[in-house]
Amino acid sequence: MITTISTVLLMAANSLTIANFETLHRELQPSGEKVWRTIPWEADLLKAQAKAAKEKKPIFIWAMDGHPLGCT
Amino acid sequence: MLDRASTFSDPGVVSLLQNHFIPVAIDQAYQRRQQDAEGQFYQKIANQGPRKVGDGGPTTQGLYTATPDGSFLGYNNNRKINDLLEQLRNAQKQYRPGEVAAIESGEPDSRYVYGPPEGGLVVRVHSKILDGYEKPKSERQRMFQEGVGRDNFWIRADEHQALAQGKILESLAARMARFHLVDNTRGEPPMWKPHEVRSHDLFLDGNTLRGTVHLRTDSGDREFRAELLGFVEAESGKVKRFDVVAKGLFRGEGKYTRGAPQGNFPIAMAFSLADGSDMADPIPPQGSRGWLDGYIE
């Protein structure tokens, strides 16, 4: 019961309002991670292969479980 | 997530990748299984490294360097900056440029290669934990705690049409709750099972979207009570704005998202229309991974 009451009180204290919506929406954008975004990542391996062949450069593959540009 | 803020933010790594390599980021769970040209090219490279496709291992994940014709130049699954710098420099030394043809894509393996629904919408989803972590003891821990999750929310054509008419279809609300009200700030999150959506009530009041969602596992080890607020605007039958925030108290973590704050912690998700300008816009939703029909139903 105490947990439930605490949760309700915390929810009320953190309630979404039109006034705080814009601020929160803006703050949730990933501005703190800009540097890695300056790397020109391809998301398609064959497009990367074609580009590498054309520019005569080696390929670097960041291969993960889950997409590296997404949640991993 | 940590790789972005640490390894791939190092000036030396960034400069090498920007100028001397063609960098590509993939979820190898697809390419290691695909029976098409892209899959064959990836498997050719991976099979020259230590984690071979089909050897019974659970993954071929890692950092690979290869020539445009698929000859292996190196592998590393350690994100230490110096190790990666050494791998990149070794690849540069070994590489001998030559004439190589672009590989024809041919017919893609439709089990793993799919795009967003025709006539539908792609919505970016960013998530962030707002409070609750203990004070970080290192820069690495600070980066870990400040991670921002990213996914894409796919909306079907019929759901898009309904939204433009001021209605939220049940399928859209359920998909949003199950697959996008998750804590993906530390890696691949567990999605909610259908019955774990204990309640949801999303509605449009003019252009204003409001609602509440309660998600809870049977054991109660994960729970999220969220409030949603946002704006959905349409012109000529097409949605032009989908700016929504979900915010509430989350509890728990998943097998691949260890290290959550203790107890209930505030988390928020921001939704906004994708316009194709972001490198992550084309990525299928995490919840559709290997199971598009289950995601989009």
> In this predicted model, what pLDDT tens digit does every residue of B231-278 receive, in sequence order?
999 999 999 999 999 999 999 999 989 999 999 999 999 999 999 988
Could you report the per-residue pLDDT of B108-152, keeping only the tens digit for each?
Answer: 998 888 889 999 999 999 999 999 999 999 888 888 888 889 999
Nearest alpha-carbon partner for A50 in B44, B100, B95, B106 = B100
**Non-local CB neighbours of B258 within 8 Å, separated by 6+ positions:** B186
Count Cβ–Cβ pairs < 8 Å, chain A vs chain B: 250
B153 three-class SS: strand
Could you report the per-residue pLDDT of B77-102, keeping only the tens digit for each?
Answer: 988 999 999 999 999 999 999 999 99
> What would the two tokens of residue B190 be?
């567990």
- The answer to the question of residue A71 being in a domain is no
Q: Is the dihedral of CA B204, B215, B272, B244 positive or negative?
A: positive
Could you report the per-residue pLDDT of A27-59, keeping only the tens digit for each?
Answer: 988 765 678 889 999 999 999 999 999 999 999
Among residues of chain B, what percentage have pLDDT more than 90? 83
**Non-local CB neighbours of B96 within 8 Å, separated by 6+ positions:** none
Range of the domain at A31: 2-55
- The answer to the question of residue A46 being in a domain is yes
* pLDDT the model gives residue B4: 81
Q: Give chain A's domain count.
A: 1
- The answer to the question of residue A22 being in a domain is yes
Amino acid at B230: G
Chain B: residue whose CA lies nearest to A31: B148
Asked if residue A2 has pLDDT above 70, the reply is no
* pLDDT the model gives residue A32: 52
DSSP state of B102: P
Could you report the per-residue pLDDT of B186-236, keeping only the tens digit for each?
Answer: 988 999 999 999 999 999 999 999 999 999 999 999 999 999 999 999 999
* B66 with A63: Cβ contact below 8 A: no
- The answer to the question of residue A24 being in a domain is yes
Q: Structure pTM?
A: 0.89
- How far apart CA B91 and CA B74 sit, in angstroms, is 7
- The answer to the question of residue A25 being in a domain is yes
Nearest alpha-carbon partner for B274 in B240, B230, B234 = B240
> Which residues in chain A have Cβ-Cβ distances shorter than 8 Å to B287?
none
* A63 with B62: Cβ contact below 8 A: yes
Nearest alpha-carbon partner for B156 in B115, B193, B211 = B115
ipTM associated with this complex:
0.86
Chain A: residue whose CA lies nearest to B39: A45
* A40 with B3: Cβ contact below 8 A: no
* pLDDT the model gives residue A71: 64
Nearest alpha-carbon partner for B116 in B288, B290, B284 = B284
* pLDDT the model gives residue A11: 52
- The answer to the question of residue A68 being in a domain is no
- The answer to the question of residue A66 being in a domain is no
> Which residues in chain B have Cβ-Cβ distances shorter than 8 Å to A51?
22
What residues pair up with B72 in beta bridges, in sequence order? B66
> Which residues in chain B have Cβ-Cβ distances shorter than 8 Å to A50?
102-103
Asked if residue A8 has pLDDT above 50, the reply is no
- The answer to the question of residue A65 being in a domain is no
